[in-house]
Amino acid sequence: MPSAPTRAWVRLPSGHRLDLLDPTPFDWTDEDLALGLARTYRWGGHSAWPLPLSVAQHSILVLALRRQASPTGLSDAVARRELLHDADEGLLGFDPISPLKPFLGPGYAALAGRLQSAIAARYALPPWTADDKKAHKRADRIAAASEAIHVVGWTRDEVRKTLRIIDRPVEVDPLATWLAVKPWEPWPADKAAAAFQAMLTRLRPDQS
């Protein structure tokens, strides 16, 4: 008997089928993406709070930090790129912890790259400039250091020596005042999905 072809697609809540090996910009809805990010957890799902921290909430935090650090503000296109910087993880449902990434190999990197390209095309994301990439990486590191301390329970010494993040974490959660939420508390998936989708809708190209 001939062997069955390998299935490389997943069925999303909307009913769309996403081919992970050959994605197109039309294979998911915004609701699919928001829910996927809200159900994908950072830090391996570990948390000192009752709930883990979702990639959706992290993505909004990085956007908030970038906005705080930009003296001239961010265009909708740049803000949208910040919000969607980990969007491929929501479509995969997988956010590998940093120590695992070197062992995943080039196949995983290529798969993530194809998803990122489809995301960039769907949401008209501008290419990264060297300065924008540097500013983004700093915001992402500050977010990680802050999450490690306030969400997961790492010490500041561990953040510097074990995680090797030298950027100073923030004490005040920028989302607390921006979105009127409890500082550093991870959100339930439905709340995280709704907040992410509302932010994405506000920043969509046709809303600019």
Domain of residue 177, CATH code: 1.10.3210.10
Q: Write down the pLDDT at residue 101.
A: 86
Q: Which residues of the chain have pLDDT under 70?
A: 1-5, 207-208
Q: For residue 18, is it within any domain?
A: no
Is the residue at 11 inside a domain? Answer: no
The three-class DSSP label of residue 6 is: coil
- For tokens 């990010």, the residue is 37
Model pLDDT, residue 208: 39
Question: Per-residue DSSP letters for 8-70?
Answer: -EEE-TTS-EEESSS--TTS--HHHHHHHHHTSBSGGG--SSSSPPBHHHHHHHHHHHHHHH-
- pLDDT (0 to 100) of residue 185: 98
Cβ contacts of 132 within 8 Å, gap of 6 or more: 78, 81
Instruction: Give the C-alpha separation, 180 to 129, whole Å.
Output: 32
Range of the domain at 186: 28-203
Is position 166 within any domain? yes
* pLDDT on residue 205: 78
Residue 108 lies in a domain: yes
- In the chain, the percentage of residues whose pLDDT exceeds 90 is 86
Cα separation, 184 vs 179, whole angstroms: 12
Per the domain annotation, does 13 fall within a domain?
Answer: no
Residues 34, 193 contacting (CB under 8 angstroms): yes
Query: Does residue 58 sit within a domain?
Result: yes
Residue 8 lies in a domain: no
Total count of domains within the chain? 1
What span, in angstroms and rounded, lies between the C-alpha atoms of 98 and 82? 20
Q: What is the pLDDT of residue 198?
A: 97
**Within a domain: residue 75?**
yes
